[in-house]
Amino acid sequence: MTDLREIRFAPVALDDLAAAEGRVAVFVPDEGTLSPGARRLNRLTKGALARALESAAWGKVKEGAALSLAWPAGMACEAVDVIKLSRRAKPDAARKAGAGLAKRAGAKALTVLAENMAHPQEFAMGVALRSYNFVDHKSDKGEAPEAVVMMCKDASAAEAAAAPLLAVAEGVFFTRDLVTEPANVLTTTEFADRLVALSALGVEVEVLEEDKLEELGMGALLCVGQGSASPSKVVVMRWQGAKGAPLALVGKGVVFDTGGISLKPAGGMEDMTMDMGGAGVVAGLMKALATRKAPANVVGLVGLVENMPSGTAVRPGDVVTSMKGDTVEVINTDAEGRLVLADVLWHAQKAENPAAVIDLATLTGACIIALGHDNAAVFANDEAFAGDLLKAAEQEGEGAWRMPLGTSYDEALKSPVADMRNVGGRAAGAITAAQFLQRFIKDDMPWIHLDIAGVAHVPKDTDFAPKGATGWGVMALDRLVRDRFEQG
């Protein structure tokens, strides 16, 4: 598992700058005004800092980016990074600047002169997020990242402000690790075991095995995993940091998706280790909430299955009965995620009596065609709830875009032999998938469906993560919980 990089907060100690190893970072606004610490660095480097600020290169540096002075005379460090950042920079700008510095520095030690920063905790969050590196299965694990020292005017206040943010970063890392793990490691049993381990943080964890799922009538979920040797499971995680009805989070946890009998093409199938991304986000959020001791009542439920072709696999044309009692004609076994979610959504409402429900899933390729890798698709039956989620996602810099629902799309789900079919054809594929899920939401239940197919695992670096697993959603949902569901 990937550990969070060590970040320490310390009082400003200008006398320590000359001996600092690795890299030293200092903030200078666009106009080039030097803080006391920057003036000290300028004296140590024999005026190199001032000369750099007078150069044409400084004028080309964008807000939040850095100009580096390599091997400065008079200092032990390898480089001084002069970061262009206004003293009135907003939190998101400080976070991006931190991520940019972490990418530039790699595993090197960092001393950050944050004496004049408005949001040192956000800068630290950016450093933490962008320092992620999954090396569990590599023989050469590279250099272990060295510590980051943030020199602040009020180190205690900065450390206190950073603590809940870094707790969320731990949740993001947990999600990224889960999404990145290969399927021969992250089996349904291993996934459940990692979630059971959250009990050490105070999360109440319950694992529902196949016999219990059969007893509950989860025929839709069970049909997905019946072709696999790995047992299907539902894991329920309860964080009871407050009284009242909980927010319920439901995640699709298909640990590997071959498509089943409706077999996927071979090209790119190796990426289907990430088809448990929705469950990964739910798990990461539960870890974040427990780590920061959130005063909220939240329950996370994940359906863990593997979709494999075999002599026992569900076939196109089979009819299965959901926990709700509705029957579903399985037209395409590669549209399995909605079958998993249908039963877990119904169980969440029946067993947990939530105040609201959010489900997350790497559900449709159609979502990627519509929105690419920049935005998750947001479907909702409640305007205020949707607005709160979109606001939280924007504040955390996680792209999300509202998509439509409507009864006109239901026509595509009609079946001649069952209550519905599990696919509606190529047209509006992400929407008809959401329409299918809405049938398993009670009429008076506020509900959001997040199709994260395009954002859970991306083909190139983002501001806050290397290419691959992003942990999208942990930060946005944590902020939604803080803003809407916390008490006191």
pLDDT score, position 31: 85
Tell me the two tokens of residue 357. Answer: 């429900």
Contacts (Cβ under 8 Å, ≥6 apart) of 199: 205
Q: What is the pLDDT of residues 310-352, one digit of tens each?
A: 999 999 999 999 999 999 999 999 999 999 999 999 999 999 9
Q: What domains appear along the chain, each with residue ranges and CATH number?
A: 7-153 (3.40.220.10), 169-485 (3.40.630.10)
pLDDT of 87 higher than 90: no
pLDDT score, position 250: 99
Q: Shortest CA distance to 125 belongs to which of 173, 69, 62, 77?
A: 173
| Edge-to-edge strand list for the sheet holding 319-321 | 319-321, 327-329, 420-421
Burial class (CB in 10 A: 0-12, 13-18, 19+), 162: buried
Q: What is the pLDDT of residues 390-435, one digit of tens each?
A: 999 999 999 999 999 999 999 999 999 999 999 999 999 999 999 9
pLDDT of 488 higher than 80: no
pLDDT score, position 316: 98
- For residue 1, what pLDDT band results from cuts at 50, 70 and 90? confident
Judge contact between 291 and 242, C-beta under 8 A.
no
- Which position has the token pair 């979109």? 390
Cβ of 349: how many Cβ atoms within 10 Å? 19
Separation CA 168–CA 174 (nearest Å): 10
Separation CA 306–CA 329 (nearest Å): 20
- For residue 442, what pLDDT band results from cuts at 50, 70 and 90? very high
Q: What is the pLDDT of residues 125-179, one digit of tens each?
A: 999 999 999 999 999 999 899 999 999 999 999 999 999 999 999 999 999 999 9
Q: What is the pLDDT of residues 170-206, one digit of tens each?
A: 999 999 999 999 999 999 999 999 999 999 999 999 9
pLDDT score, position 33: 87
List the catalytic residues: 264, 338
pLDDT of 23 higher than 80: yes
Distances (CA, A) of 52 to 32, 48, 62, 372: 10, 6, 15, 40
Sign of CA dihedral 414, 417, 418, 421: negative
Q: What value does the mean pLDDT take over residues 4-19?
A: 96
Q: Rounded to the nearest 5 degrees, what angle is found at the Cα of 144, between the Cα atoms of 142 and 145?
A: 120
